[in-house]
Amino acid sequence: MRSTNIIILAIAALLVGCQNSTGQAPNKTIALDMNAGSDTMNQYDHSKNPHYSHTDTSKLDLPLSEWKKLLPEELYYVAFEKGTERAFTGKFWDFDGVGTYACAACGNVLFQADAKFASSCGWPSFYQPERKNSVAYHDDNSFGMVRTEVTCGRCGAHLGHIFDDGPPPTGQRYCINSVSLEFLGTK
């Protein structure tokens, strides 16, 4: 019983800490180290994902069972179970490469690096998406907070949340999980 209480207190402390320092509270937090054992910005072999495209903007409405078959476990967890990678562990939070970011699940172009800014929150942050319908927005009242969830406008993958404490010109901060992104470089 005592150990159960300790676990509950630890989880509560984690949630409060994340909310206060970043505004990006976890839905479910897992420790993802996307740098581990990887020498590429791609997370998996896209040739096995027939829906992956940087040019096809038609909407995808696939069953979760299909995504589960196509995606690496950690990507499926964040994208379709609304997980959140631990702050300062993703490969892009302090990455400043020049180029384009796409949805790791479907390839939809989401952000340009020139809209990325240095944020202390521990997740890659952008002040605007690639185009208006690159992303979609949803009310998220989980964990007793009022937030706006950001998903991929094509496949519906969970990306992160948007906050109004970003820099000019938009004043918005798209706080995005690294694991939901792939960096395409310049094209």
Residues recognised as catalytic: 175
The only residue of 102, 135, 150, 152 in contact with Fe ion, by rule CB under 5 A: 152
Query: What 8-state DSSP symbol labels residue 79?
Result: H
Tell me which amino acid residue 14 is: L
Identify the helix (H) or strand (E) that includes residue 18: helix 2-22
Contact segment (CB under 5 A) with Fe ion among 22-30, 39-47, 118-126, 157-165 equals 157-165
Q: Say which residues have a Cβ less than 8 Å from residue 34's Cβ, sequence separation at least 6.
A: 43, 85, 89, 90, 91, 178, 179
Burial letters 24-63, b for 16+ CB under 10 A, else e: bbbbebeebebeeeeeebebeebeebebbbbeeeeebebe
Task: Please say which residue, 22 or 80, places its beta carbon nearer to Fe ion.
Answer: 80
β-pair type (158-163, 29-30)? unpaired
Task: Please say which residue, 122 or 153, places its beta carbon nearer to Fe ion.
Answer: 153
The only residue of 25, 75, 155, 176 in contact with Fe ion, by rule CB under 5 A: 155
Contact segment (CB under 5 A) with Fe ion among 22-30, 46-54, 106-114, 178-186 equals 106-114
The only residue of 24, 49, 100, 108 in contact with Fe ion, by rule CB under 5 A: 108
β-pair type (100-103, 116-117)? unpaired
The only residue of 78, 106, 121, 175 in contact with Fe ion, by rule CB under 5 A: 106
Contact segment (CB under 5 A) with Fe ion among 20-28, 38-46, 100-108, 129-137 equals 100-108
Task: Please say which residue, 14 or 54, places its beta carbon nearer to Fe ion.
Answer: 54
Residues that bind Fe ion (CB under 5 A): 103, 105-106, 108, 152, 154-155, 157
